[in-house]
Amino acid sequence: MDATLIAQGLVSGVLFGGVYSLMAVGLTLIFGVMRVVNFAHGDMMVWGMYLAWLLATRLGVDPTLGFTVCAAGLFVLGVLVQRGLVDRIPDAPHEMQILLLLGVGLVLENVALVAFGPDPQRVRSSLGRATLWIGPVFVDMARLAAFAVALTLTGALWLFLRRTDLGRTMRATADNPYGALVVGTDVRRVGATAFGIGAACVGAAGALVSPILPFSPSSGLSASVASFNIVIIGGMGSLPGAFAGGLLVSVAESLGAVFLSPSMKELVSFGLLIVILLFRPAGLFGRRP
């Protein structure tokens, strides 16, 4: 096998991993703070993608800037979902929560389908097809930009959770929801913010991916699967786990694409999920839910 191809796969994988990490961080935050598994995660990402597409085609805003709007929009959606839906069934068994978010995902995916049609779209980034050559390996500028932004956002989130009061409150709630209640935390507000941030992360990720890969409403499922893969490997509720997992899975997929045909790539993704589910539900860093 060509060493250059492998190196290329590695580089592309790491760069794309930034976006994967961002997606996974969003999912794990929602789970960590609210013990909610966001089955609509991938479908929210799809909306991030389409919002970026709308911004680019209607207003000429490049996704590398437009992600902010996508993040804001998805934040609002996340808060609405948590406050308007999940909060209404606090004591319901987990199965109900799963069905609820499956329903939300269905609505999101199919409204997108009705609104935008089933054909794959792509956003033309102002970075165009610019590439940077480092030795025998080329670096796609759009991917590099995505990586940089994703990394920045993840870093900002990390600082938020570590340094701000709200962030600390969120971590406390994640660690001990009952205790947080006892000390007077407005758990509902924290939960809504967490869901909002989680959705914002995946919305931003969607925007960043939009110039790199073609997308359609049905991309939601594979995005969700990728997110679940990463979060389960890295540990449900663990931010460093999600981050590391994102890079890992992205590199694995990228190398997989070097050796396997594209259709098999999806198969490997699902096969990996099955294996991970069976053997590592506690993850590398995280706790058992």
Partner 1 sequence: MSVGALWLASGTVLALLALPAVLGSYAVTVCIFIFFYGYLGQAWNILGGYGGQLSAGHAAFVGVGAYATTLLSMHWGLSPWIGMLVGATLAAGLGAVIGGLGFRFGLRGFYFVLLTVAFAEVCRIVTLNTDAMGGALGLYITFTGNPWHLQFQDNRVYYYLALGLMLLATGVVALVERSRLGAYLLAIREDEDAAEALGVDTFRYKLGAIVLSAFLTGLGGAFYANYLFSLQPNAVFGIPLSVDIIIRPVVGGAGTLLGPLLGSLILSPLAEVARIYFTRPGWTGLHLVIYGVLLVGVVLFLPQGAYPHLRRAWARWRPGA
Identify the bridge partners of residue 105 per DSSP, sorted by sequence position. Answer: none
Angle of CA points 256, 259, 260, to nearest 5°: 75
CB closer to partner 1, 89 vs 156 = 89
Residues that bind partner 1 (CB under 8 A): 37, 39, 85, 88-89, 92, 94-96, 98-100, 102-111, 113-114, 117-118, 217, 221, 225, 228, 263-264, 266-267, 270-271, 273-274, 277-279, 281
Q: How far is the CB of 139 from partner 1 (least distance, A)?
A: 31
Residue 114 or 130: which CB sits closer to partner 1?
A: 114
Place of tokens 């480092």: 134
Give whichever of 86 and 161 is closer to partner 1, judged by the CB atom.
Answer: 86
Dihedral of the alpha carbons of 6, 10, 15, 17, in degrees to the nearest 10 = 130
| CA-based nearest residue to 252, from 268, 267, 236, 232 | 268
Taking the C-alpha atoms of residue 9 and residue 178, their distance in angstroms, rounded to an integer, is 45
Q: Least separation, in Å, of the C-beta of 131 and partner 1?
A: 31
Strand partners, 140: 131
Shortest separation between residue 28's beta carbon and partner 1, angstroms = 14
Choose between 76 and 92: whose C-beta lies nearer to partner 1. 92
Q: Which of 40/205 has CB closer to partner 1? A: 40
**Least Cβ distance, residue 281 to partner 1 (angstroms):** 6
Neighbour-count burial for 58-82, b at 16+ CB within 10 Å, e otherwise = eeebbbbebbbbbbebbbebbbebb
Residue number, 197 or 276, with CB nearest to partner 1: 276
Residue 88 or 129 with smaller CB distance to partner 1 = 88
Closer to partner 1 by Cβ: residue 18 or 42: 42
Q: What are phi and psi of 197, to 5 degrees?
A: -65, -40
Close Cβ partners of 62 (under 8 Å, ≥ 6 residues apart): 56, 125, 126, 127
The Cα angle at residue 51 between residues 46 and 54, in degrees rounded to 5:
130
As measured in angstroms, the least distance from the Cβ of 160 to partner 1 is 27
CB of 111 to partner 1, least distance (A): 6
CB of 224: closest distance to partner 1 in angstroms?
A: 9
Determine the Cα–Cα distance for residues 82 and 102; give it in Å rounded to an integer. 14
Smallest distance, partner 1 to C-beta of residue 150, A = 25
Residue 234 contacts residue 244 (beta carbons within 8 Å): yes
